Amino acid sequence: MKRSFLLLFPVLLFATIASAQLANTDNLKKSFETENKDTVAWLKGGTLNIGLNEGFLHNWAAGGEVASLTVNGLFNGYMTRLYHGQVWTNNLDLNYGLFYAFSNDFKPRKTDDRIDFTSKYGVRIDTTKNFYLTTLFNFKSQFTKGFDYSVPGWDTFSTSKFLSPAYFTLALGIEYRKGTDLSLFLSPAAARLTVADAYYTSMTGKGAFGIDSGKTSRFEFGAYFSGRYIANISKSISYKTRLDLYTNYLAKNTVNSAGVIVKKDSPGNIDILWDNLFLMKMSKFFTLSLGATFIYDNDIPYVSIYVDKASGKKVAKNEPGESLGWWQIKQIFTLGFLYKF
């Protein structure tokens, strides 16, 4: 028995040390989330959330879609490099969703599509360890072609695709940060480049995504604010929010050859992006997520009518939410698989 204990003792000792080191690592990582430590380290993590919704009906008196399938995927990942008074932060948000229905021959229809990458490099500029001189780069686009499903013959033309549009923002400013949970970045000098294929900007003769008709890019220079906050409400519930604001110093009204204003624009037309995501952990690998995104962009107006190709007449879309005007709104509710790393 004594020999067995002697053989078991090193194993128990190693397990205890390993457990203590793991606890110290977790505690150290947790402390970095709310404090700005003067150290050298890599912090990384993220979540992958996949949701499925399937339905089937046969001889159903109440009626409905005979067969349907909805698939949603959401990825949020970050990687941060701490090097004494320097911080390099990278955030990647990917969203994609598809809807399949028997009544549409199971042709996939998008319910979500987004690529959003932000990289920031900051150098501490004060003794309180909370303010940084920071350079920010942001890229936004989408994965696949987009269509307006409310218009007859929607599959004969697309309204957008990968890199059409694509938004590139480069800004220099001051960032207030508390670990990885809170970041407030403000830049008085932010350049933005919007690019798109000439096919989309020439489609209506009025341009698209803020780009003039027939052209493929637009340059803007203005002020930019980006705020991110993560709140751990409880052990199983977390809330993430992000607010981006951009104003273009170069904005001005568009006037036609007759001197008539065809588009009103000014630095007061602020672009807004507000992301919100609640995550409730139901078990180790399953979660409930509720998200809402609000976007306002003066360069992307809401068009409530379309021209019927067959008759040539203007027809109202009569969509729900028309009263919301130019606001772009996306809401998701998913119960599905969650992988956290």
What pLDDT shows up at residue 287? 87
**What is the residue type of 71?**
V
Sequence length of the chain is 341
Q: Are 74 and 113 spatial neighbours (Cβ–Cβ below 8 Å)?
A: no
Short-list 155, 154, 187, CA closest to 169: 187
Instruction: For domain 39-340, say whether CATH 1.25.40 is its number.
Output: no
Which residues neighbour 71 within 8 Å (Cβ) at sequence distance 6 or greater?
50, 51, 52, 97, 98
- Site of tokens 């992301």: 275
Cβ neighbours of 247 (radius 10 Å): 17
What pLDDT shows up at residue 284? 81
Q: How far apart are CA 181 and CA 229, in angstroms?
A: 5
Q: How far apart are CA 106 and CA 195, in angstroms?
A: 32
DSSP character at residue 212: P
Whether residue 165 is preceded by a cis peptide bond, meaning omega within 30 degrees of 0, is yes
Q: What is the pTM of this model?
A: 0.85
What pLDDT shows up at residue 312? 65
Mean pLDDT, consecutive 10-residue segments, the chain of 341 residues? 43 41 49 74 89 86 89 92 92 95 92 96 86 97 93 89 98 93 96 97 88 94 97 92 97 74 84 95 86 92 69 68 81 82 75
Alpha helices in the chain (DSSP H): 2-34, 198-201
Q: Are 337 and 73 spatial neighbours (Cβ–Cβ below 8 Å)?
A: no
What pLDDT shows up at residue 317? 66
- Site of tokens 């987009």: 146
- The number of C-alpha atoms within 13 Å of 315 and in the hemisphere containing its C-beta is 12
Q: How far apart are CA 204 and CA 98, in angstroms?
A: 27
Short-list 267, 227, 219, CA closest to 244: 227
Q: How far apart are CA 337 and CA 51, in angstroms?
A: 6
